[in-house]
Amino acid sequence: MCYNDVMRTLTVKLYNSDDFGYLSDMINIAGIIYNTALTIIQNHYTETGKLLDKYELQKQLRGLRNVDENHHWRYVGSQAVQEITDRIYRAYRLFFTNREKGVKCSPPRRRKVKKYKSVTYKQAGYKFLPDGRISINGHIYRYWDSYDGLLERIEIKTVTVKRSILGEFFVYVTTDSPATMREARDGRGEVGMDFGLKMFLTLSDGSVIRSPEFFRQGVADIRKASRALSRKVMGSNGYESALKALYRRHQDIANRRRDWFWKLSHELCSRYGVIAIEDLNIKGMARMWGRKVHDYAFSEFVEILEWCARKYGTRVIRIGRYYPSSQTCSACGHVWPSTKDLSIREWTCPECGVYHDRDVNAAVNILAEAKRIMNRMEQAKDA
Ligand SMILES: [Zn+2]
């Protein structure tokens, strides 16, 4: 699909919902309509040797929609059906152009309905509501609003609901609204990030992203729940419910943490074109903090960040674990092993006299190393 330069796609993830079945049904039906449309086109081609006119196809689909046994087709609005036919004709046009140029290619094919991924709306069928909610054909879903209510205010071209293979749902919004253009014009920056416990991230520009309070609260809750469990006799009624309570605490915290990671990842990827991070030694970190809960958290965050980055076209560069990012002076390159001591939060370089905040200095070094890596990669490509 090709949009002009100023068109932007904004993505949000929907919260888990009991009502996802509705979206799934809708996407499946869109898949059936897509396959039906292709069959009509192919039959017409076999009979006449010509590509069926798009409006003729749309007329036939409208006819089929009014047949009783297809009454569920009405879940998918007429706009969305039109988008499906537009999509098919775009694919055919591409196919014919390629064939003329002698490029090897095949016409659009039928797809398994289960693998059909999305349905697109133009003007109707959706509405963004206050407080991070969207109505899709009257069904209300909540989404992680990393755009601070922007989606409610801007003029929208299309809304695509996508189903991932994991059964998650994402909403892709295309817009040419100037409100979203500032970032694109400025060009996205580059950033190095240092992970920590209290400051979840320290960025190379000196800004910090604090761990949310529920991280700490979560650890306390889990501790309380496991103490309660340890006081119960195994196999008793009380044991069973204490075990369930502990499990619920874990689930609860894992969910909130994941949601926060998504939101943060969207924010970072929309802001930065290059993100440099350290490949983490999770075991070493767990020992350092003595908090098991964080073992997975960082690798989980990096996973979500990298997934998000692909959507935004952001490059995530991982720096080798053994690069001494916190022991190197980012001003003169002097390596000073005394700073290995984690209790040293700030230091002055004995070589050049520059004063450093431990984490910011590390983040600056991580970015610098990422740039060296990218340069080497460029050179290798040129050679
Ligand atoms: Zn120095």
Number of residues in the chain? 383
- Whole-angstrom Cα distance, residue 31 to residue 18? 22
* 28 and 116 Cβ atoms separated by less than 8 Å: yes
Dist. CA 332 → ligand 1 center (Å): 4
Dist. CA 350 → ligand 1 center (Å): 7
Q: Which of 228, 253, 223, 252 is nearest to 242 (CA)?
A: 228
Dist. CA 193 → ligand 1 center (Å): 20
Dist. CA 240 → ligand 1 center (Å): 59
Dist. CA 200 → ligand 1 center (Å): 26
Q: Which of 171, 119, 118, 169 is nearest to 147 (CA)?
A: 171
Q: In this structure, what DSSP letter does residue 143 have? A: B
Q: Give the pLDDT confidence score for residue 186 in this predicted structure.
A: 42
Dist. CA 335 → ligand 1 center (Å): 8
Dist. CA 196 → ligand 1 center (Å): 23
Q: Give the pLDDT confidence score for residue 2 in this predicted structure.
A: 28
Dist. CA 329 → ligand 1 center (Å): 5
Dist. CA 356 → ligand 1 center (Å): 9
Dist. CA 118 → ligand 1 center (Å): 53
Q: Give the pLDDT confidence score for residue 201 in this predicted structure.
A: 87
Q: Which of 246, 241, 250 is nearest to 227 (CA)?
A: 246
Dist. CA 357 → ligand 1 center (Å): 13
Q: Counting runs of H as helices and runs of E as strands, what totals does the chain give?
A: 10, 14
Dist. CA 338 → ligand 1 center (Å): 14
Q: Give the pLDDT confidence score for residue 5 in this predicted structure.
A: 41
| 101, amino acid identity | K
Query: What confidence tens digit (pLDDT) does each residue in 151-204 have?
Result: 888 889 889 998 887 788 989 888 877 665 444 334 678 899 998 776 788 888
Token output for 378: 């460029």
Dist. CA 276 → ligand 1 center (Å): 22
Structure confidence at residue 112 as a pLDDT band (50, 70, 90): confident
**Which contacts (CB < 8 Å, 24+ apart) does range 255-260 have?**
256/214, 256/218, 257/214, 257/215, 257/218, 257/297, 257/300, 258/300, 258/304, 259/15, 259/144, 260/212, 260/214
Dist. CA 183 → ligand 1 center (Å): 34
Dist. CA 353 → ligand 1 center (Å): 6
Give just the sign of the alpha carbon dihedral 363, 365, 370, 371. Answer: positive
Segments making up each domain of the chain, as ranges: 8-181, 188-212+252-382
pLDDT > 70: percent of the chain: 90
Dist. CA 205 → ligand 1 center (Å): 18
Structure confidence at residue 277 as a pLDDT band (50, 70, 90): very high
With a cut of 70, say whether residue 98 has pLDDT above it.
Answer: yes
191: β partners: 275
Dist. CA 369 → ligand 1 center (Å): 16
Give just the sign of the alpha carbon dihedral 110, 116, 120, 126. Answer: positive
Dist. CA 354 → ligand 1 center (Å): 6
Average pLDDT over residues 288-309: 73
Min mean pLDDT across 130-144, 201-215, 363-377 is at 201-215
Residue 354 dihedral angles phi and psi, to the nearest 5° = -80, 140
Give domain 188-212+252-382's CATH number out of 3.30.1490, 3.30.160, 2.60.40, 3.30.420.
3.30.420
Token output for 143: 């989404």
Q: Give the pLDDT confidence score for residue 134 in this predicted structure.
A: 96
Dist. CA 123 → ligand 1 center (Å): 58
Residue 30 dihedral angles phi and psi, to the nearest 5° = -60, -40
- Whole-angstrom Cα distance, residue 76 to residue 39? 19
Q: Give the pLDDT confidence score for residue 183 in this predicted structure.
A: 45
Dist. CA 336 → ligand 1 center (Å): 9
| 24, amino acid identity | S
Dist. CA 166 → ligand 1 center (Å): 48
More confidently predicted of 276 and 336: 276
State the helix-helix crossing angle for 54-65 and 78-101, rounded to 10 degrees.
150
Min mean pLDDT across 98-112, 156-170, 273-287, 307-321 is at 273-287
Paired sense of beta strands 158-163 and 169-175, if any = antiparallel
Report CA-CA distances (Å) from 297 to 134, 303, 305: 29, 10, 12
Average pLDDT over residues 82-93: 89
Dist. CA 364 → ligand 1 center (Å): 13
